[in-house]
Amino acid sequence: MKKVAKWGSLAFLAFYLVSQPHKAANVVHGALGGLTGAATSLSSFVSDLP
């Protein structure tokens, strides 16, 4: 069952990427922006530790 879900997810991702590349790019950009914000916050927290 896990294998079917994995391949189904990959097929959906490929279809989404090909059919709507602009929206897919926005999703990736948003995800990377979120990760960047989280990394910046973590770095700031660690820097402020005594």
How many Å apart are CA 10 and CA 3, to the nearest integer? 11
Indicate if the pLDDT at residue 6 is higher than 90.
yes
**What pLDDT does 25 receive?**
92
**What pLDDT does 19 receive?**
96
**Tens digit of pLDDT for each residue in 9-48?**
999 989 989 999 999 999 999 999 999 999 999 999 999 9
Instruction: Provide φ and ψ at 49, rounded to 5°.
Output: -70, 145
Torsion angle of C-alpha atoms 42, 44, 46, 48, degrees rounded to 10: -150
Which amino acid, one-letter code, is at 40?
T
Distance (Å) of CA 4 to CA 11, 21, 39: 10, 25, 34
**What pLDDT does 1 receive?**
82
